[in-house]
């Protein structure tokens, strides 16, 4: 489910946000609703910093006059370079959502799944002659 499937509602009585088709699963902020329900970020590590990094990364991809210039590309690189710890955490969470990593109490202690081990065993992609 994502925000396009259901209307986001604010419950005045409980002062929380949820989707109209699942009001039992509510969060105190709209950002947390997106963070945990749509983006599937877990609460390990720095979930708020992960969300904010993703938000800033998305904002840099909005159409602007200099989006496809060296300056626009440089801003994206700087965003990544300025917060490498969070970039690694976001990648770990992404790979967890893809079924390639698992973790216990902290995403920093992730380990490869069986599918990831199969990918590791397959080795690097090499160009084929017909590519």
pLDDT at res. 131: 63
Alpha helices in the chain (DSSP H): 30-33, 47-59, 70-81, 84-97, 114-122
pLDDT in tens for each of the 131 residues of the chain? 455 556 787 778 778 778 766 777 788 888 888 898 888 888 889 999 999 999 999 999 888 888 788 888 899 999 999 999 999 999 999 999 999 999 988 898 999 999 999 999 999 999 888 76
Q: What is the pLDDT of residue 63?
A: 84
* Residue 96 per-residue DSSP state: H
Write out the two tokens for 23.
Answer: 């009001």
Asked whether the whole model's pTM tops 0.85, one would answer no
- The predicted pLDDT at position 21 comes to 67
Residue among 129, 122, 55, 62 nearest 90 (CA)? 55
Asked whether 84 and 49 are in contact (CB, 8 A), the reply is: no
């Amino acid at each position: 489910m994502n925000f396009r499937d259901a209307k986001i509602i604010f419950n005045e009585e409980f002062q929380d946000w949820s989707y109209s088709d699942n009001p039992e699963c509510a969060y105190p902020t709209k950002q947390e609703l997106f963070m945990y329900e749509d983006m599937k970020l877990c609460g390990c590590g720095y979930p708020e910093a992960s969300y904010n990094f993703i938000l800033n990364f998305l904002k840099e991809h909005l159409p602007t006059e200099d989006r496809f210039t060296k300056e626009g590309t440089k801003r994206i690189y700087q965003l990544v370079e300025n917060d490498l710890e969070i970039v690694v955490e976001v990648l770990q969470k992404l790979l967890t959502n893809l079924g390639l990593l698992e973790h216990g109490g902290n995403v920093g202690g992730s380990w490869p799944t069986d599918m990831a081990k199969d990918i590791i065993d397959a080795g690097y992609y090499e160009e084929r002659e017909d590519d």
